Amino acid sequence: MASVSLLFVTLLSVTLYINIKSFILWDQSQTFLPSLSDSVLMDRRFPFKVLEHIFSFVDSNEDRNSVSLVCKSWFETERRTRKRVFVGNCYAVSPLKVARRFPKMRSLTLKGKPHFADYNLVPDGWGGYAWPWIEAMAARRPLLEEIRLKRMVVTDECLEKIAASFRDFKSLVLTSCEGFSTDGIAAIASTCRKLRNLELRECIVDDLGGDWLSYFPETSTSLVSLDFSCLDSEVKLSDLERLLSRSPNLKSLKLNRSVTLDVLESLLRRAPQLVELGTGSFSDELDPEEISKLTKALSELKQLKSLSGLWDLLPEYIPVLYSVCPRLTSLNLSYATVQMPDLIDLLSRCSKLQKLWVMDLIEDKGLKTVALCCKELRELRVFPSGADLDETDVTLTEQGLVSVSEGCQKLESVLYFCVQFTNAALVSIAKNRPNFRCFRLCVMEPFAPDYRTQQPLDEGFKAIVERCKDLRRLSVSGLLTDKAFEYIGVHAKKLRMLSIAFAGDSDLMLHHLLSGCESLKKLEIRDCPFGDTALLENAAKLETMRSLWMSSCFVSFGACKQLSQKMPRLNVEVIDEHPPKTRPDSSPVERIYIYRTVAGPRLDTPEFVWTIHKKPEVGVSRLAIR
């Protein structure tokens, strides 16, 4: 990257020199700054081609954003060459502007609802509609090949529009989306002749049956990845078998739970080239011959690197998986209710594992095995197995994470649910693994202190942010005072996303964060006792961030109004499930969502969202949603 930036600097000076020379040679009556088109015309003969070529090496959108700020000709060159467009907040910019800016767009990624929507904190109907984007792209960018949406409302009409409008459409990836049915999927399957990726990750789909699978035409052979793990209903086995047989490029297949174990073997036989496999249910009764056939079929998957699904995995079927273990780099056992001894059995054979998702049934002992055997581990997620706190019978403690942090040198990303924790453990973990980039600890007891010393977990998180200099994402929990956030503000300079719940004492907490964390882009807070002061004092910071979410805090309606007036380039949304008839300035609001935008107020706010722009008679705009 350094050499590229040197090249940039050289080119910049070259470009500037040429520009300046052109000014000097210009007719004196011209204005000093030539028009944009003149400058582009001047530059296109030489620098454009060179720039274009150099920019083709710049993949990261962050770098491209920086590049486009250098000067007008760079802006022009960059925008004409960007192929993959990422919009982190669908309301931050208008679809039309994006469509116009990037004529060569081939891939569009959009994110809609705030992250806390995953935990039911955003009422239904809040927004995040995909339609305006799809409509805009269909009209202006018909060569679009890929659409990736996260936390958005996608309707069948959207899917039909995609199928009808983009003749080279190749890839649809929907994560945590909702609003569509299997009919919409059928439309995509039947119409997109060049479809390569169809992935539905944890979506909420109106499942009208498994027919959609039969809509893939017999001539379609282009499929590379298919993920329908979130659907409920059964697909026809023969449809699936035929699809697999004619898809030699299929690398990733994730079945849903209703695909039973007895048919798995037949499917795998037809797709031995799979790199990623998500099985269906793993709990049917198989006779010994079937077991043996399945074992063989799995062992034939020589390229398999990732395994998931495994719903209801029975201990007696674990040996069936032995053959794939040594090659696995990614294993998702988070839906497999397997107990610790069986987990150890499995994991001790996975020496190449880089990513492990598992339930807390693994216990400390199981994690110790992971620490010993899985030396390549980079990402660990441990989910709770009991749906509510009452039923925690497992011995997963902080010790488990300490062991893994000791044994796995490459560990950089952690999500850990645990009942309680200690400062000492956090300090150890920080000492062991200063290379953390993502550290999310969820102490499930709100306000739980260090259970040995009864102290807040301030010192523990201090160690984390002090030592892990590359920390990008952090979730804190347990008993925390303002001090913890002072430490975070002082040390976590690269932190981009921070999630907080049930913590802090006062406004100082928010103040430390907003004034200290230079790289902060997303902040989400729930149930913390700060209010208006810190928010208003640090208003300017909010324009440097993508978004701020606060729910069940002590922010008053008056402060929201003030903030809206003060910062016209922020959208300040007050979201109350049951908005009151009158709202005095002093009343606290249930939720606020603040984000920067150049698109102005959005047109599709529902009744329960207040913004300063709102006229009471405007409800949900019919134009914006379909």
Partner 1 sequence: MEGGSAIGSASTLSNDENLVVSSEDSSSPTENGLELRLTLSLGRKGYRECRVSHADDSSSSSSSSAPSSLSRASVTAGIKRTADSMAPTSGQVVGWPPIRTYRMNSLVNQAKTLAVEEDPQGVVNRNISDATKMRSSMFVKVTMDGIPIGRKIDLNAHNCYESLSTTLEDMFLKPKTVSSTQETDGHLETRLKILPDGSSGLVLTYEDKEGDWMLVGDVPWRMFIGSVKRLRIMKTSEATGAAKMNL
Only segment of 164-172, 244-252, 319-327, 556-564 that touches partner 1 (CB under 8 A): 556-564
Nearer to partner 1, 359 or 408 (CB): 359
Q: Which of residues 589-608 bind partner 1 (CB under 8 A)?
A: 590
Using CB under 8 A, which residues numbered 77 to 136 contact partner 1? Answer: 116, 118-121
Instruction: Choose, by CB under 8 A, the member of 458, 532, 573, 604 that binds partner 1.
Output: 532
Selected from 266, 481, 538, 611, the binder of partner 1 by CB under 8 A is: 481
Task: Tell which one of 305, 526, 596, 602 touches partner 1 (CB under 8 A).
Answer: 526
Integer Cα distance of 499 and 495 in angstroms: 11
508 contributes a contact to partner 1 by CB under 8 A: yes
CA atoms 202, 207, 213, 216: torsion sign = negative
Which of these ranges, 82-90, 141-149, 190-198, 477-485, lies near partner 1 under the rule CB under 8 A?
477-485
Size of interface with partner 1, in residues (CB under 8 A): 79
State which of residues 335, 416, 436, 595 lies at the interface with partner 1 (CB under 8 A). Answer: 335
Beta pairing, strands 197-201 & 225-227: parallel
Question: Which residues are 624's β-sheet partners?
Answer: none
579 touches partner 1 by CB under 8 A: yes
Q: Shortest gap between Cβ of 297 and partner 1 (angstroms)?
A: 26
Smallest distance, partner 1 to C-beta of residue 24, A: 56
Q: Report the nearest approach of partner 1 to the CB of residue 555 (Å).
A: 8
Q: Among residues 392, 437, 442, 393, which one has the least CA distance to residue 411?
A: 437
Tokens coding 51: 């720039």
Q: CA 184, CA 480: separation in Å to the nearest integer?
A: 47
Q: By C-beta, is 85 or 500 nearer to partner 1?
A: 500
Q: Going by C-beta distance under 8 Å and a sequence separation of 6 or more, which residues neighbour residue 462?
A: 483, 484, 487, 491
Contact region with partner 1 (CB under 8 A), list: 36-44, 85-93, 532-540, 609-617 = 532-540
Q: With respect to partner 1, which residue has the nearer C-beta, 298 or 508?
A: 508
Stretch that binds partner 1, among 166-174, 271-279, 348-356, 388-396 (CB under 8 A): 388-396
Contact 127, 112 (CB under 8 A): yes
Site for partner 1 in 179-238 (CB under 8 A): 202, 204, 230
Residue 21: count of CB within 10 angstroms of its CB: 11
CB of 347 closer than 8 Å to CB of 373 = yes
- Tell me the C-alpha distance between 169 and 192, whole Å: 6
506 is an interface residue for partner 1 by CB under 8 A = yes
Interaction of residue 339 with partner 1, rule CB under 8 A: yes
**Rule CB under 8 A: is residue 445 a binding residue for partner 1?**
yes
Q: Does 34 bind partner 1 (CB under 8 A)?
A: no
Contact 408, 375 (CB under 8 A): yes
> Least distance in Å: CB of 314 to partner 1?
9
DSSP class of residue 558?
Answer: H
Considering only residues 253 to 312 of the shown chain, the ones binding partner 1 according to CB under 8 A are 312
Determine contact, residues 356/334, Cβ cutoff 8 Å.
no
The answer to whether residues 168 and 143 touch, using CB atoms and an 8 Å cutoff, is: yes
Contact 458, 481 (CB under 8 A): yes
342 binds partner 1 (CB under 8 A): no
For residue 205, give both structure tokens.
């789909």
Instruction: Considering the complex, state which of residue 47 and residue 179 has its C-beta at the smaller distance from partner 1.
Output: 179
Cα–Cα distance between 293 and 363 in angstroms, integer?
A: 32
